[in-house]
Structures are given as C-alpha cells and as structure tokens.
Amino acid sequence: MITRIKDLLIRNRSLQKINFAVARGVAASSLRTIDITRPASWEFSGFSQNGEDGILDVLLRQVCEPNRYFIEIGTADGLENNTSWLSLVHRYCGLCIEGDPKKSEAHRSVFTPMNYGLTFLNLFVTTDSLESMTSQTRTLAPDVFSLDIDGNDYYIAKAVLEAGFRPKIFVVEYNSAFGPEKSVTIPYSKDFRIGSSDAERLYYGCSVAGWKCLFKDHGYRFVTVDQNGVNAVFVAPDAFPVAFLDQVSGTHFAENFSQLTNHRSEWPQQYALLRGQTLHEIKAGQTH
C-alpha cells in the first residue's frame, strides 16, 4: 500500500511538471518574433533544457516529407529532453532510449497513457549495442534524432550514421570547453562516466568543430548551436528546401552557460584544466 501511494505521488508530481512545461512552452512560443534567417529567434523551451524545442519547431515546419517519428538517446524520465514536446504537444511517435532503468520506467509509466505511439527502451547505448536500438525503430530516417549521453556521443553518432540511419534533423550535445576550433573528442570507453572534480566535469563528449567534421563527411549541413551553448543541430540537405537552408545564418559557437557559471571562466581557462587528459583528433575525410 505504501509503495502504491508513493508511486501515485510521484506520478502526480510528474504530471504537474508536464502541465507546467506545456504551459511554459506555449507561452514562450507565442512570444517569439521569428526571423527565418536567424535560428536564435526560433528558440523556446517547454521540455528542452535550452531553446531546442523552438529550433525543432521551425525546422520541422520546413521538412519536405515528414514521417512524424523521432529517436532520442538519453531521454531520462521524459521531463527534460528534446523530444517530449514533440510526443505530447504534436503527437509524434518515437523511440525513447534511456540507460537508467528507473528513469526509463518512470518515462514509460507517465507518457504511455498520453501517447501510445511511443516505444521505451532501457538500454545503455554503446557501439556494440546499436543492434538492439535498430531492431526497435520504425525507420532509419526519422524526422529527428537527438543524442545526449554526456560521454561517448561522437562514437555513438558515428556508429549510427555508419549503420545506415539518415535522420532529417540530428541534434547532438557539444562540449564548449574544447573551444570553437579544436576538432577533438574523448577516447572511446564503453564504461565512461563523468567524474566529480572540476577538470573531470569538463572531460566529456565532442567539440563543435569535431561534430562539424563528422556530419560534413556524411553529407549533413550545420544549422546552429543553441544560445546556451549545449547542443548543435545538423540537417540532411535533401530533406529541406534549398532556398530555406541557404538563407539560414546560425550561431557557430556559444559558451556552455552552466560551465561558464560554475567555473567563472570562459573556454580557454576551462580547456587549461584538461591539461594532461587524452583527446582524440577528428580529421576531415577520416570519419567514415
């Protein structure tokens, strides 16, 4: 009985957060003055940590042949990610992947009654476990693919692309501590976890230049990073009108607001804290 009451309270709290996120997103969306050439003006946040909900909102209006399907790796409990706005407000179907079993189950139990088109997969994604993801997806060409696992992101995205996935929009987290021009990522480690020291908390993921290198080699086009310096957005050019893409002028680099606040320094000082850490250089033409 106590367990059932506890679960009910947790569920009610989640529903309250969902209602707040939807209301916040609707209000923020309506207050935008969209300049189709400036992605910074597209941003708003309902469920997304930053302005990704707004960026995806504008991009998805431009997709030539939408299938209304997404894949996200790193959905957590669904209350803060890049696809819950799509699943709850726009009724997109999708595959929600989360490595933490409790968070994955919490996501499933709350969201399933609101959208039966969602599939929930509890999976800690490595380059060796992609087959489990592939077997669960409806298509290799979703409208949106979002990846945020705070670690081996580069290697997972590379494996996803090499496995034949061709998302129309690909959203990836970048590490601004590596700066705007260094094309680097951490070495692959299937058991990677972010550490707790100042330097260790900055040692994760891939630089924005590294992402540009990978996606360019796979025929993608860079659109923008969000204004809080967390995610970079790339698109498959053949999925959008050329005239639309040609007029977009995105932000190429922004400092991660959280890292900037926590460390009270910009990326050069943050990068100096990583001295001695191993980084892998990403070179054009060598990402296949």
Helix/strand/coil (H, E, C) string of 176-205? HHHCCCCCEECCCCCCCCCCCCCCHHHCCC
| Secondary structure (3-state) at 12 | helix
What is the band of 42 on the pLDDT scale with cuts at 50, 70, 90?
A: very high
Per residue in 13-28, pLDDT (tens digit) is: 999 999 999 999 999 9
What is the pLDDT, as a whole number, of residue 11? 76
- List, edge to edge, every strand of the sheet that includes 93-98: 118-122, 93-98, 69-73, 144-147, 169-173, 231-235, 221-225
Is residue 116 within 8 Å of 144, Cβ to Cβ? no
pTM to 2 decimals? 0.95
**Within a domain: 204:** yes
What is the pLDDT, as a whole number, of residue 150? 85
CA–CA distance, 276 with 271 (Å, rounded to integer): 11
**Within a domain: 97:** yes
What is the band of 219 on the pLDDT scale with cuts at 50, 70, 90?
A: very high
pLDDT at residue 113 greater than cutoff 80: yes
pLDDT at residue 2 greater than cutoff 70: no
**Within a domain: 286:** no
Q: What is the CATH number of the domain that holds 89?
A: 3.40.50.150
Per residue in 87-112, pLDDT (tens digit) is: 999 999 999 999 999 999 999 999 99
What is the pLDDT, as a whole number, of residue 212? 98
Q: What is the mean pLDDT of residues 133-148?
A: 96
pLDDT at residue 141 greater than cutoff 80: yes
What is the pLDDT, as a whole number, of residue 248? 98
What is the pLDDT, as a whole number, of residue 7? 61
Per residue in 151-190, pLDDT (tens digit) is: 899 999 999 999 999 999 999 999 999 999 999 999 999 8
CA–CA distance, 88 with 24 (Å, rounded to integer): 14
What is the band of 1 on the pLDDT scale with cuts at 50, 70, 90?
A: low
Q: What is the mean pLDDT of residues 77-88?
A: 97
What amino acid is encoded at 181 in this protein?
Answer: E
**Within a domain: 287:** no
pLDDT at residue 192 greater than cutoff 80: yes
**Within a domain: 259:** yes
Per residue in 225-246, pLDDT (tens digit) is: 999 999 999 999 999 999 999 9
**Domain total of the chain:** 1
How many CB atoms lie under 10 A from the CB of residue 100? 15
**Within a domain: 288:** no
Rounded to the nearest integer, the mean pLDDT of the chain is 94
77-80, Cβ contacts within 8 angstroms, sequence gap of 24 or more: 77/14, 77/103, 77/106, 77/107, 77/110, 78/14, 78/47, 78/106, 78/107, 78/110, 78/111, 79/14, 79/17, 79/18, 79/21, 79/47, 80/47, 80/48, 80/49
What is the pLDDT, as a whole number, of residue 8? 58
**Within a domain: 17:** yes
What is the band of 5 on the pLDDT scale with cuts at 50, 70, 90?
A: low
Domain of residue 270, residue span: 2-281
**Within a domain: 211:** yes
Task: Specify the pairing of strand 118-122 against strand 184-185.
Answer: unpaired
Is residue 191 within 8 Å of 134, Cβ to Cβ? no
| Secondary structure (3-state) at 115 | coil
